[in-house]
Amino acid sequence: MGLLFQGSAGRAAALTFCSPLRKPRKNSRMAERRATAAAEPDFLQFNDLACETEGGKVIFATDEWFAPAKNLLKREPPQFIPSAFTEFGKWMDGWETRRKRIPGHDWCIIQLGVPGLIHGLDVDTSFFTGNHSPYVSIQATCLDELPSFTPGEDRTGMAATAAQIAAVAKLSSEVWPELVGVAPLQPGYAERCHNYFRVSSRSRVTHLRLNMYPDGGIARLRVFGVGQRDWSSIPANQDVDLVALTNGGVCLGYSDAHFGHPRNMIGRGRAANMADGWETARRLDRPKTLKADQQGILQVPGWEWAVFRLGHPGLIGSIEVDTNHFKGNFPDSCRIEACLLTPEEEARCVQTRWNSGKWEVLLPPQKLRPHHRHHYSKADLTPTRPVSHVRLIIAPDGGVSRLRLWGRPRLVTGAPANQSRASSKL
C-alpha cells in the first residue's frame, strides 16, 4: 500500500509498505489482508501521538457521565461487554456524556504524549450505536503548558461545573484553529466505526480540543503523525535514542507486519506484551530442514525488514534489540544497516519500495536469544558517518519488541524533515 509522506522539500511522495526484497507469497490470507488494507488511508502507518502509552492525556472534559474521556486514548481496541453496567448506566469503552438537557455541546482537551505534525485522525465510534456522537470537530494548538484542571465538585464524579467550563474555554480553546471542521460521524457498527480525517498540520501540535455535537459517545481518538522534538535543548555530548517515537522517529516501510507493526518497536519503555512489538508471519520459504553456519546462524533464503527515519540524523554509538516476550517466536538473527538520505533521496527510496538506497552495515549479523535484551556497544558496530535512516533486518522471521539506537545528534546539510526546530505556531 502507499503512504503519503511530506518531505521537507514540500513534495508529497508515495511510501510503500510491501517487500521489494522477496517474491510475493501465494498466501490467500495475506492477499485478503492486503485488500482490506488497500481500503484504509495511508496515514494509518504513522505513530499515534495521543496514545496513553506514549504519554497522551485528557486534561479536561465537560462531562464524563457514562464513560471517562481518558478511554479515548487507550492503546487496545475498544471492547463491548453486553452484561456490564455501572451505577450511571451501560458501561462503555470510550468517552460518553449525558444526553444534554442544557445549552451547549460537549468537548474535551487532549494533551498529546508526543507533540508533532499530524497527518490524519481516526474518530472510532466502535459499539456506540444509538448513543454515538452525531457530529465532531477537532481544533489544535501549540502551547508549552496548560494548567491542570481538577474535576468538578458536582460531578458525582462525572461532570465539570459551568464555572470550570468557562474558565477552560477562556484559555482560548474556543478559538484554536480547526484541524477538522464540523463533520458527521458514522455509528460504531463493525465496518463503519472508523471515521477517518486526512489533515496536514504544517506546524507542531501539542494540544487538541475534541468537540462532539451536541453530546454522545466516541470509543477512541487516534492521532496519526510524526513527533517533532526541539533538539536545541539537547547538549551535543548527550546520547539519546535517535529512533524513539518520542524523539521523532518514524517507520517508513516494512516487509511484513502480520501480528504487530514495526512502529511498536520505537514506543516508550519495555513492551507490555507480544502485541506491543513487531511480529511477522512465519515465512513459507524456510527450508524443510534447517542448517546453521559456524556462528550458529541459520542459513535461510529469506528475511523481513523495517526501515525507520531517525528523529534527528546522528552518530549511533550503541544499540539495543529487545526480544522481550518473544520466546518461541524470536528471530534467529538480526542485522542493521544505515544511511544518510536527503528528503529527495528518501522520496526516491519510497518510490522504489526501499529497493534503492546507500545502505551500509551498522551492526553485522547477530544470533539472537528468546525474551532477551541484547546490547551492542561501539565495539560491535561498524564505524559509520552520521546517518538519518536505519533498516533492521531479521532472519528468517519472528518478533522484536524494542529497537533503541543511542547516539549523538549531528547537524547535516539537506537534513530530513523532522530534524527542523519545533515551530510554536500552527
Residues that bind ligand 1AL in the complex, under the rule CB under 6 A:
66, 89-90, 92, 96, 99, 131
Q: Which is nearer to ligand 1AL, 107 or 128 (CB)?
A: 128
Whole-number Å distance between alpha carbons of 230 and 50? 18
Helices of type H across 4-135: 28-38
Which phi and psi (to 5°) does residue 159 adopt?
Answer: -145, 145
Q: Which is nearer to ligand 1AL, 99 or 270 (CB)?
A: 99
- Cis peptide, bond prior to residue 416, ω within 30 of zero: no
Cell numbers standing for residue 5: 509522506
Buried b (16+ CB within 10 A) or exposed e, 137-165: bbbbbbeeebeebebbeeeeebbbeeebb
HSE-CB for 34 with a 13 A CA cutoff: 16
Q: Which is nearer to ligand 1AL, 90 or 367 (CB)?
A: 90
Whole-number Å distance between alpha carbons of 389 and 340? 6
Give the dihedral sign, CA 226/56/213/138: negative
Q: Which is nearer to ligand 1AL, 31 or 85 (CB)?
A: 85
Question: What residue ranges in 172-330 does DSSP mark as E strands?
Answer: 178-184, 194-198, 205-213, 217-218, 220-227, 240-241, 250-254, 278-279, 304-322
Q: Which is nearer to ligand 1AL, 66 or 354 (CB)?
A: 66
Going from the C-alpha of 124 to that of each of 78, 79, 187, 363, the distances in angstroms are 9, 12, 9, 40
| Residue 190 beta carbon to ligand 1AL: minimum distance, rounded to whole angstroms | 18
| Residue 96 beta carbon to ligand 1AL: minimum distance, rounded to whole angstroms | 5
Nearest of 119, 142, 149, 129 to residue 59 by alpha carbon: 149
Instruction: Decide the pairing of beta strands 360-367 and 333-339.
Output: antiparallel
CB 318 within 8 A of CB 376: yes
| Residue 58 beta carbon to ligand 1AL: minimum distance, rounded to whole angstroms | 18
| Residue 88 beta carbon to ligand 1AL: minimum distance, rounded to whole angstroms | 7
| Residue 214 beta carbon to ligand 1AL: minimum distance, rounded to whole angstroms | 12
Residue corresponding to grid cell 481518558: 70
DSSP H/E element including 349: helix 343-351
Whole-number Å distance between alpha carbons of 25 and 347? 26
Nearest of 327, 266, 274 to residue 53 by alpha carbon: 266
* Sequence-separated (6 or more) residues with CB below 8 Å from residue 55: 113, 114, 246, 268
Whole-number Å distance between alpha carbons of 221 and 110? 10
| Residue 61 beta carbon to ligand 1AL: minimum distance, rounded to whole angstroms | 15
| Residue 82 beta carbon to ligand 1AL: minimum distance, rounded to whole angstroms | 11
